[in-house]
């Protein structure tokens, strides 16, 4: 941020290049999330790869809703949820509803968690991810009129919690650098 | 753009999340009301993404091969000894198979047997998982003029894989025989009894509805049955295995965990293919 920007007052409209820069930085969280989701569907040949997609979506929505909700508005969460439903072959609306709820929870807990450290955020995420996996499991059963084994839901919760630190570290680096509109 | 007061804008911003949550419920209803909508959207998305995944498959495959190579080098000696043993066993079987084949030909010739028509097939690469967490299916990348239709049979080099359930312009989705919705009419090879193979989303589908008086034997081979005109007869599926709770399951012969290339056979069967949307409207029900 330039020195002049730190002082209050009226100043000329930012130039086109700067506005583009700000917009691009604001778009980083969404693009990063969608790109990662598409990447989890690539033929990586990992066992249990199908569960990576909801896990990555949950982690991304939780992280960015907590640290940078202004770049991660509800309509974006809606689109990510739609992508999760379509790519993950979930019944339409199941992933969408769950991710929007996760977003809402993150927004309410934001102030409380901002002062705590990473471990706290991770612990709360463990609860949120378990609840989200349960919600998706219940919705899939409800929308398909079918009883399903709870094992995939448990695996989804465990995998989400396990990969959260792996994603959070690069996300935090991006949050401080490329995704920060104030750096423009 | 409409200019709003700051208060109105804040109120709107606060309303977005509840409105979108309601919208997601509306999507659930929409998905239930028009199941084809989601299917079409998925196929369109898969068609768009398949070329990217197909392009990624080659370098990712090379990385995989390199890793496998390293692992193989590690236990090459043991592997070699095992293969030599197996080779000897297979050689014995080969001579038996050749003798049986010759005998079979002679018997068929003396019976004036009408040979089964040869089925045409195309080979396609598996590019992505198409099942998600609660289904078992794979996505195939096929050329633009592939001619694959719903209901065709997917087979890998060892046995039955599943059936084509959705076809896009560049992709086809194959429902695996382990999927929860998979029902396959089968024959127990030694007793020739019919049964139904029911997917459970687990690695081994369950065997159900075999006739009274017949008990599936552990290790007995399971092949498809031509009943219901959905599958050709005698495609290998797998072998019976009794689970811990005493229920017979089938260990699929096909390597469903790591499918790379499958063949799609057109046997010209249309026994239980889902009717096309236009043909679905039955008289008296609109």
| A139 to B28: CB separation less than 8 angstroms, yes or no | yes
Higher-confidence residue of B241 and B113: namely B241
Put simply, whether B25 touches A (Cβ < 8 Å) is yes
Chain B residues in contact with A104 (beta carbon < 8 A): 17, 21
Check: CB of residue B264 under 8 Å from CB of residue B171.
no
A41 Cα to chain B: minimum distance (Å): 6
DSSP of B60-91 = HHHHHHHHHHHHHHHTHHHHHHHHHHHHHHHH
Put simply, whether B60 touches A (Cβ < 8 Å) is yes
| A51 to B133: CB separation less than 8 angstroms, yes or no | yes
pLDDT for the residue numbered B270: 66
Chain A, nearest residue to B65 by Cα: A45
B181 Cα to chain A: minimum distance (Å): 10
Positive or negative, the Cα torsion across A69, A75, A79, A82?
positive
Chain segment B149-175, per-residue pLDDT in tens: 888 899 998 899 999 998 988 899 999
Instruction: Please give the Cα distance from B209 to A180 (Å, whole number).
Output: 62
Check: CB of residue B241 under 8 Å from CB of residue B220.
no
Check: CB of residue A87 under 8 Å from CB of residue B28.
no
Instruction: Please give the Cα distance from A91 to B184 (Å, whole number).
Output: 24
ipTM metric: 0.83
Smallest Cβ–Cβ distance between A97 and the set B21, B180, B201 belongs to B21
pLDDT surpassing 80 at residue B117: no
Chain segment A134-163, per-residue pLDDT in tens: 999 999 999 888 888 889 999 999 999 999
**E runs forming strands in chain B:** 120-129, 137-141, 153-155, 160-167, 171-176, 183-188, 194-198, 206-208, 221-224, 236-242, 248-252, 261-266
Percent of chain B with pLDDT over 90: 30
Positive or negative, the Cα torsion across B111, B112, B116, B118?
positive
What are the phi and psi torsion angles at B42 (to 5°)? -65, -45
Query: pLDDT class for A79, splitting at 50, 70, 90?
Result: very high
């Amino acid at each position: 941020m330039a020195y002049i920007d730190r002082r209050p007052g009226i100043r000329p409209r930012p130039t086109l290049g700067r506005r583009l820069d700000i917009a691009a930085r604001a778009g980083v969280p969404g693009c990063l999330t969608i790109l990662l989701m598409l990447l989890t569907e690539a033929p990586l040949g990992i066992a249990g790869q199908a569960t990576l997609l909801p896990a990555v979506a949950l982690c991304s929505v939780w992280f960015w809703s907590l640290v940078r909700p202004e770049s991660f508005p509800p309509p974006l969460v809606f689109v990510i949820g739609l992508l999760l439903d379509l790519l993950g072959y979930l019944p339409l609306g199941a992933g969408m509803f769950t991710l929007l709820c996760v977003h809402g929870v993150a927004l309410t807990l934001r102030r409380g968690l901002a002062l705590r450290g990473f471990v706290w955020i991770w612990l709360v995420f463990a609860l949120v991810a378990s609840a989200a996996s349960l919600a998706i499991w219940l919705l899939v059963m409800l929308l398909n009129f079918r009883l399903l084994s709870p094992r995939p839901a448990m695996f989804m919760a465990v995998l989400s919690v396990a990969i959260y630190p792996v994603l959070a570290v690069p996300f935090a680096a991006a949050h401080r650098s490329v995704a920060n509109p104030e750096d423009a | 753009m409409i200019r709003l007061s700051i208060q109105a804008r804040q109120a709107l911003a606060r309303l977005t999340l509840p409105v979108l949550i309601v919208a997601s419920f509306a999507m659930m209803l929409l998905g239930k009301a028009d199941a084809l909508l989601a299917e079409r959207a998925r196929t369109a998305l898969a068609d768009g993404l398949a070329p990217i995944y197909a392009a990624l498959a080659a370098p990712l495959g090379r990385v995989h091969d390199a890793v496998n190579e390293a692992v193989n080098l590690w236990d090459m000696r043991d592997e070699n000894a095992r293969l030599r043993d197996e080779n000897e066993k297979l050689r014995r079987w080969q001579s038996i198979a050749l003798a049986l084949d010759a005998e079979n030909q002679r018997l068929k010739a003396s019976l004036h047997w009408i040979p089964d028509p040869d089925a045409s097939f195309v080979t396609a690469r598996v590019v992505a998982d198409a099942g998600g967490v609660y289904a078992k299916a794979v996505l195939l990348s096929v050329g633009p003029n592939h001619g694959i239709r719903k209901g065709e049979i997917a087979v890998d080099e060892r046995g039955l894989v599943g059936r084509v359930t959705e076809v896009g312009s560049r992709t086809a989705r194959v429902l695996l025989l382990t999927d929860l919705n998979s029902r396959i009419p089968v024959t127990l090879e030694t007793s020739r009894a019919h049964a139904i193979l029911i997917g459970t989303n687990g690695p081994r589908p369950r065997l159900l509805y075999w006739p009274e008086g017949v008990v599936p034997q552990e290790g007995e081979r399971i092949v498809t049955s031509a009943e219901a005109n959905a599958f050709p007869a005698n495609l290998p599926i797998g072998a019976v295995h009794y689970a811990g709770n005493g229920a017979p399951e089938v260990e699929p012969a096909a390597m469903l965990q790591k499918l790379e290339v499958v063949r799609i056979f057109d046997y010209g069967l249309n026994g239980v293919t889902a009717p096309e949307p236009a043909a679905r409207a039955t008289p008296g029900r609109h």
